[in-house]
A and B are shown apart, each in its own frame.
Chain A
């Protein structure tokens, strides 16, 4: 295919040609970044929590006024909850995943470190925590009963009581000691004494993205016997997920009957918590996707509009070419090649623009750099779009009869 006539024609239609190029460039840049943002959202939504979400529910209670007998009542509550039909295990904790409130603490390798290695979230629980939550120990062991510390003792002013062991998430252990066995090593976090690592769990996600997406896996579990007053989170593991609502209702009744002056704060399944937590991300991903589609449609319409105009404008030339022996296929390919050239130029500019937009977003939203594979994806999409849009006008051009050349109009 001879490119020269196409180029010289385009030179005579600079404005219209540059409009198409600009439109394609802008669409390409926005679509590349939007696709990247969508994938980021999907990635964060797919985070593995490590908790057995399908079987877990949270029943949150509160008391009225201060409860001096909270520790004993908590143990009695747990016994009652374990007796509720359908409950496989029950535990009490200070926080649950996919929630906006969280406990965080600095993790140090030495006692007098001035800057912690990182901040990790702090789950507190007794020996039932790992089993009830469905967490997987990838190394080491669970807490022993004699390692547990009472929250009341720990929380007293000038108390020297503190937990001496800790279970870390694999992400936290790998960050502290890359490639080493963490079991038996010490960290410093709560109090003056070290915590010895006795176990590592595969995944135990933070309640929320405090500290950025990179820190989502940094967490620790301290062996603490909690009163329900610290968050009021009773977590139940049900044997049959379809019975979750019924179990929660039965658990509420049992808890309300077990003490006076109680308030039910919230009853939710872990799946609902996850659903709610990522609601904004899901909405944003949908919005980005619809903008991409709208952009493609608008760009396609623009190409169709200008290409039709060109075909109409050049009807005579096309007729002359046909009369001089050009085939319908050659006319068709002429317009297709022309569009391909414009699209290519647009895509090249668009990629530079995409990188510029990405740089701006990186500065404002702590986004990572746009991975290179997004650029060819954007390019292919726009090439296909261009070819599809130009097909109609090009075929109309190809069907121009040679006789047009002989007419004076």
Chain B
């Protein structure tokens, strides 16, 4: 029966080429626009670390002074060095990491290469196992090396190739900002989308190329990147000799993450944060009422509004456009079916049930959707190509994956069948007698 209806649909298209083309085009435009924006949204709003996004947490404390205090406000997104190092020492989570972005100048030994700047990340040892950083050669440094402030580095594959060519970079020495470091590991391709653990800089761009122990970076007072928020700690507090990056500086500038394997541990850790804040308040270091947060990766992305506002807006806009295209299709299908009332009347008179007419109409609508989906897929490819030409950091990520490919056809056919419901219902209301008489 389905094949027969399908055949009827194709015949009807041939009879009414312009109208059919208009419907297919309308659906294709709507589908093309929505799938382009939906794919971009899908890529940007995905889980950057699916295997453990519910076990990684970003704690937040509120170490600021009473100046500018508004009750109910979110605590700071980042940590002071004092709190970060204290929590790191107490090590109450399964794993924990303190880190900061940085900028370094590399002075290559290789002939013909002049010094160049790279983005770096200063992190404690747990960084690598926590975020499942893939290693190509060698290993990350250990906690012991952290404590000894060793001058070791993990570098990205691209940088290793640039500096040492095809030879294994592990064990080589690398000169950065006037200091000698030993390469202990080479990192394989790694591109969390977004770069959830530090959203201050290019959240959808490439990750840093050099990784050093955080302790070493402070030892050498290496330059930091990212956002920093400082406040007036009060007149009686001595300034830290190291300045804004000092242990006692009233500045938040560090990212702090913990890994907690079970929900019970997460609850316990939240209580620990409350206790810690209360202790700090009692000691006079914290002034504001206790205000802590413990968000896992997806909650954190939601809170930080990881997906750019424009991308969401485009998604809404595209679906609005699709709605108009569908209304248009409903109208055109209605015209098409009612124009064939005579034919329907004959079919009814020859014994076709209303249900059969209804099914025939829906098959025809679905066929229009299939054609619209095919064309819409082409348009979505074109749209994604256009997105890739844009100078945005996520441009190279805008590709259609199999899920979205299937979703395109499901959306197109579902939308057109939905659009066909009202016209099909009208078509099957045709009274055979009236239609036969007017022939």
A residues adjacent to B (C-beta < 8 A) = 15-16, 19-20, 22-23, 26-27, 30, 34, 37, 62-66, 106, 114-116, 155, 157-159, 192, 261, 263, 265, 276, 279-280, 283-284, 287-288, 291, 294-295, 298-299, 301-302, 305-306, 308-309, 312-313, 361, 364-365
**How far, in Å, is B54 (CB) from chain A's closest CB?**
27
Contact A158 B238 (CB under 8 A): yes
Q: Which residues of B contact A309 (CB under 8 A)?
A: 334-335, 338-339
Contact A106 B426 (CB under 8 A): no
Cα–Cα distance between A114 and B67 once the two chains are bound (Å): 5
The contact string, 1 if C-beta is below 8 Å from chain A, for chain B 20-57, is 00100010010001000000000000000000000000
B residues adjacent to A (C-beta < 8 A) = 19, 22, 26, 29, 33, 66-70, 103, 105, 107, 115-117, 177-179, 221, 235, 238-241, 243, 309-310, 312-314, 317-318, 320-321, 323-325, 327-328, 330-332, 334-335, 338-339, 390-392, 422, 426
The verdict on A22 contacting B327 (CB below 8 Å), with A115-B68, A157-B240, A158-B238 known, is yes
Contact A301 B238 (CB under 8 A): no
Contact A26 B317 (CB under 8 A): no
**How far, in Å, is A92 (CB) from chain B's closest CB?**
18
Contact B29 A294 (CB under 8 A): yes
Cα–Cα distance between A288 and B107 once the two chains are bound (Å): 47
* Leading 4 A-B pairs by shortest Cβ distance: A65-B178, A309-B335, A302-B328, A157-B239
> Which of B69, B117, B422 has a CB less than 8 Å from the CB of A263?
B117
Shortest Cβ distance from B117 into A: residue: A263
Cα–Cα distance between A377 and B178 once the two chains are bound (Å): 64
Shortest Cβ distance from A284 into B: residue: B310
Could you name 5 residue pairs across A and B whose Cβ atoms are closer than 8 Å? Answer: A63-B105, A279-B391, A288-B317, A295-B324, A306-B334
Cα–Cα distance between A276 and B67 once the two chains are bound (Å): 36
**How far, in Å, is B368 (CB) from chain A's closest CB?**
13
Contact B117 A301 (CB under 8 A): no
Q: Which residues of A contact B66 (CB under 8 A)?
A: 114
**How far, in Å, is A103 (CB) from chain B's closest CB?**
10
The verdict on A23 contacting B331 (CB below 8 Å), with A65-B178, A192-B235, A301-B22 known, is yes
The verdict on A16 contacting B68 (CB below 8 Å), with A294-B321, A299-B324, A312-B339 known, is no
> Which of B117, B312, B321 has a CB less than 8 Å from the CB of A265?
B117
**How far, in Å, is A258 (CB) from chain B's closest CB?**
16
Q: Which residues of A contact B324 (CB under 8 A)?
A: 23, 26-27, 30, 295, 298-299
**How far, in Å, is B320 (CB) from chain A's closest CB?**
5
Cα–Cα distance between A141 and B426 once the two chains are bound (Å): 79
**How far, in Å, is A238 (CB) from chain B's closest CB?**
26
